[in-house]
Amino acid sequence: GQTSAPGGAGAGGATKGAGERPEKIVVEGLRKSFGDNEVLTGIDLTVKEREVVAIIGPSGSGKSTFLRCLNRLEDPTGGSIVIDGADLSGRKVKIDEVRQRIGMVFQHFNLFPHMTVLENIMLAPTQLGKCSANEAEQRARTLLDRVGLAEKADAKPASLSGGQKQRVAIARALAMEPEVMLFDEATSALDPEMVGEVLQVIRDLAENGMTMILVTHEMGFAREVSNRTIFMDGGVIVEAGTPEEIFGDPQSERLKDFLAKVL
Ligand code: ADP
Ligand code: MG
């Protein structure tokens, strides 16, 4: 970014404690257009193993499009994305394999309504032949326990609260044993009293060393849980730094304006 704070928006930007860790995600010059509308106009970002990056920014700034490009739910129009050494734009890359290594959780939970909670979590690992049905069930139960929903294994999604559904969605993403987790406004569709239980699950993942990119409008959470916070506006990274820098010492007028509105 042109006005990046110390800490750096660009490739190789320093993050507290992440110095020697391998690079997990390297994005260079990422562009994405929808027709004439260029939504991402050149994103550079390197995320190291075990790093937690929070992305904040106004609605329409391209945050979701950026995450969707990382998972190849959208095809970028330019630039490169390398995940764990595999170039997603390379001809030889198997997108399905890469996608299995990247879990994604959305604002709306997208659980399959006709399946039980357990079946939702077991579906991808069994369908993709990752493991036997027995193993998948064991792992699903362990994950349900981890998100505090062991007793809901046989429930249908419709009987769950929003917070419970989102915790199931997180367990389902974890069932593929991803190396990276992407969260797109995972708490924005929740009633306020359910936000905390979902943030707690994300916090646990961070403490256990999961590499994560979180798009969030929970500023307090971004500040608490991220190693690095990125401010996007108009399809670019305007400013990036430690959460202390971004929230405590914003440099650009755009970030100052944004924080004045949301804090
Ligand atoms: P954010 O997540 O920061 O709110 P988005 O990435 O959702 O922003 O959207 C950025 C811009 O891209 C918006 O102007 C939006 O209308 C446009 N956009 C997103 N997805 C599509 C799509 N599938 N087709 C056309 N335009 C899109
Ligand atoms: Mg969005």
DSSP 8-state class, residue 57: -
pTM score above 0.80:
yes
**Ligand 1 within 6 A of CB of 70:** no
pLDDT number for residue 188: 95
**Ligand 1 within 6 A of CB of 112:** no
Closest ligand to residue 56's CA: 1
Confidence of residue 239 (pLDDT cuts 50, 70, 90): very high
Task: Ligand 1, residue 57: give the atom nearest the CA.
Answer: 3
**How many whole angstroms from 232 Cα to the centroid of ligand 2?**
11
What confidence tens digit (pLDDT) does each residue in 117-141 have? 999 999 999 999 889 999 999 999 9
pLDDT number for residue 100: 85
What confidence tens digit (pLDDT) does each residue in 148-170 have? 999 999 999 999 999 999 999 99
For ligand 1, atom 16, the nearest C-alpha belongs to: 60
pLDDT number for residue 4: 40
Provide the token pair at 11. 């490739």
E strands present in the chain: 23-34, 37-48, 52-56, 78-83, 86-87, 102-105, 180-184, 211-215, 228-233, 236-241
**Ligand 1 within 6 A of CB of 62:** yes
Calpha distance 46→95 (Å, rounded): 20
What confidence tens digit (pLDDT) does each residue in 178-232 have? 999 999 999 999 999 999 999 999 999 999 999 999 999 999 999 999 999 999 9
DSSP 8-state class, residue 142: H
For the complex shown, is ipTM > 0.95? yes
Lowest average pLDDT, out of 11-25, 97-111, 121-135, 245-259, goes to: 11-25
Calpha distance 53→47 (Å, rounded): 7
Residues 236/85, Cβ–Cβ less than 8 Å: no
Confidence of residue 76 (pLDDT cuts 50, 70, 90): very high
**How many whole angstroms from 63 Cα to the centroid of ligand 1?**
8
Task: Ligand 1, residue 65: give the atom nearest the CA.
Answer: 6
pLDDT number for residue 94: 81
CA 135 to chain centre: 26
Closest CA relative to residue 46, chosen from 83, 12, 88 = 12
